[in-house]
Structure 1
């Protein structure tokens, strides 16, 4: 009974961490859009918060994905359904986003017809995450269980990227980014092999927060993107701090958002962009803070509502919110439990 409760606490903490991460993704995509549109003035505090969030929000998803797939993806038969379940929503929603960008001239992010045609292989906006994750899962099959070797290999490639490539100012397909994200994925898998995420302890949480804040501050001051390989230890500390917060909060809402993060990730940018355009066209003098909170809340709530409607109509898989194919299930329970420590 104690073991079962510990496993539930661990899962709740991980789901909650994903919930915090998806809230950060939605909020800071919104603020970046508002800054780019000229509705929000940039400043040090906003830049610091932005760099802090970009240091952990997507990294959490790569870590957790690697953690749960460590022993569940061994063959191409394991890979295929998971690849389909990720590629279909990528293709559908990046295609919808691309059409909207083509039809709305003057939008914050415009694309060319050539970019639209190449969407099946070259990602648009934030949808790159799904293609990178498919690639990481394929690498997991190629690794044939050698998780520690792959983690070490990508850490070494990250060090090589530091010498071979200048720090990217934007998230592009560079040597650095191509090695950075798989390193987090395989680090998550390695944690699973080693017994799970580190235990949640206040004595570890405080220095992790200090390192995360210090790294964000250095990123702002230096002008170097925090998603550069040199900042990877900072991001790991930030991910651990988020896991601590989620575990201590033990929030059903955060856990729910974590379990339903895919529809939010797919749709939030479109919802936020439409709402922002409507608000500043119909009520240009509206107070900024309430407007931002409302757009943020709706950019999370609307995708969840869309998911529920699609599920009731039996269209969840077609809409990309539910799996098209059911992967073969392999029992996998990491040896360690990351619950609150006494």
Structure 2
């Protein structure tokens, strides 16, 4: 039965809320690591506990949701142009911006000449690995859809298992580590795309979602670290499912509605928050402020708020494509 547009919009807002909550965790995680590097978190156990809790699943969520909404219906040329514009161009542009910021700050890892600046995006550095890994996964999945068509799902299942098995056999993935490590999350989303409504409409048991998220986080707490793949991948898959169901069902009420709003603006936040966090941390330290709570509050607040303000300006000027921020669905 065809569902009414408002039901579809509510469900999509649910997945926006999932992305919104995940981007908050991304900013919090990077702020947390930056503060540890600055020597502001003396309790090593506290640092590890928070880091492990966040890093278990915060990026796998984005791969999973991307897979849920992946479509292979465009012509090959249009598909590649779209993915280049939405993933590769932001990677290149904001890698250059980061390189210029490092040069201005006198960082030792900054490029030293024009050639180094131009080549800085390759291989992907900093947070930009995500864009490259997602690009590769989407292109490969698109090619498989075009090749196998109605028989694609079994192939994707085999590939997801192969990605898990690759690490189980102890092979070194080299430069493809980010692609292979995150392949199961993206492919799981693609495989479940036709049933994504079930995640948010009540058919997926809420108690099971709580068990998956809390149980996996509890195991990580007991172990004191996120296990290496494939055990870590399996735990992350379970946590991603639980997190998606729990957060996705909050979109109709606060704070879920606010997270859904933020979830439509994750790209500008993701691309720029690292620079904002570094500036906030340096300014506070220059002012003699070393309180952990203050750094977290201002760091996360500015790391989300300033990129959102920048996005508002960019959208008003009609420069969203040029800035790599992408377009947003009308609400």
CA displacement at 1:218 relative to structure 2: 5.0
In structure 1, stretches of 5+ residues that fail to align are: 167-171, 327-342
Q: Equivalents in 1 of 2:246, 2:61: separation in Å? A: 13
Q: Deviations over 1:173-202 (max 9, x none)?
A: 555433121221111000014555534422
Q: Following TM superposition, by how much is the alpha carbon of 1:258 offset from its aligned partner in structure 2, in angstroms?
A: 0.8
Deviation (angstroms), 1:86: 1.4
Count of residues paired in the alignment:
313
Judged with a 3 Å threshold, the aligned counterparts in structure 2 of structure 1 residues 136 and 318 are, in CA distance, closer, same or farther, namely same
Mapped to 1, the partners of 2:264 and 2:18 lie a distance apart of: 10
CA–CA separation in structure 2 for the residues paired with 1:252 and 1:195 = 19
CA RMSD of aligned residues (A): 2.6
Please give the alpha-carbon distance, in whole angstroms, between the structure 2 residues aligned to 1:74 and 1:217: 46
From the superposition, tell whether residues 321 and 210 of structure 1 become closer, same or farther in structure 2 (CA, over 3 Å). closer
Q: Which residue of 2 aligns with 1:179?
A: 180
1:160 CA drift (Å): 2.3
Given that 1:60 and 1:239 are in contact with CA atoms closer than 8 Å, whether structure 2 keeps it comes out as yes
Q: 1:320 aligns with which of 317, 321, 324?
A: 324
Matches within 5 A, 1:112-131: 112-113=111-112, 116-131=117-132
Q: Would you say 1:252 and 2:231 are equivalent positions?
A: no
Cα 1:76/1:271, change in 2 over 3 Å: same
Report the equivalent of 1:302.
Answer: 306
Q: List, as ranges, runs of 4+ consecutive aligned residues in structure 1 with deviation greater than 6 Å.
A: none
Matched position secondary structure for 2:214: helix
Query: Could you tell me which residue of structure 1 aligns to residue 159 of structure 2?
Result: 153
Provide the TM-score with structure 2 as the length reference.
0.85
Query: Which residue of 264, 271, 294 corresponds with 1:266?
Result: 271
Quote the residue 1:10 is aligned against. 11
Change in CA separation of 1:2 and 1:67 when aligned onto 2, cut-off 3 Å:
closer
Do the aligned partners of residues 206 and 322 (structure 1) sit closer, same or farther apart at CA in structure 2, a change above 3 Å counting? closer
Q: Give the aligned partner of residue 27 of structure 1.
A: 28
Give SS of 1:122's match.
coil
Partner of 2:100: 99
Report the Cα distance in structure 1 between the residues aligned to 2:132 and 2:233, rounded to whole angstroms: 21
Instruction: List alignment gaps of at least 5 residues for structure 2.
Output: none
Query: How far does residue 72 in structure 1 lie from its aligned partner after superposition?
Result: 4.1
Residue 190 of structure 1 corresponds to which residue in structure 2? Answer: 191
Give, in whole Å, the separation in 2 of the partners of 1:25 and 1:94: 18
207, 212, 219: which one pairs with 1:203?
Answer: 207
What TM-score, normalized to structure 1? 0.82
Moved more, 130-139 or 66-75: 66-75
CA-to-aligned-CA distance 1:287-316 (integer Å, 9 cap, x gap): 320231111111100001001111222222
